[in-house]
Structure 1
């Protein structure tokens, strides 16, 4: 497979390869592979699995609804949880997947246990 120019894309074996300078990444359904160009070869350096959008959608709705019920702005929730407002915004807009520590901090800031928060997300996924 040959790449030329500043930025090119090619489809190969159900993957879309994007080449930009000496960096290459390949998107394939639910994961992204990362490669570095070195001496004419591409060295695979890792991959990231794409998050399940169903759970992200459910979590975003539960988080937004819980925050509004508590009468908190994104900024207030972020401050209570020790997060940035931008991060809370990304969570509510389904563009970031929270860690367990973040879930715990958010649940505490909303006055519920982690178990209750997770149960609400599961219920939202079923509806």
Structure 2
């Protein structure tokens, strides 16, 4: 790679690259990390015996959850717009932050409810 990079980029790359020596312990860690010590039949057995994914929130509840979260978001947004202005808006920031978080979770729940898994 040194020869392909020329000019300033090549000099920067040569100065900033870090060369790690390959020890037996780091070689073992990379084998574990990349599953190179498992053959195909072992992985296939592991795949077939693993439990299926089950979400924490049932999929049937997602539309209702999205509705409640988004309703709370709009309610809190309206409330923030009606409270009197303060010199240091700590209360406004707290309510607006809560509304933002609820809105984010509401949008994700709505997308998942209609089949756009995010």
Q: Please indicate, yes or no, whether the TM-score normalized by the shorter chain is above 0.5.
A: no
Larger Rg: 2
**TM-score by structure 2 length?**
0.32
Structure number having the greater strand percentage: 1
**TM-score by structure 1 length?**
0.30
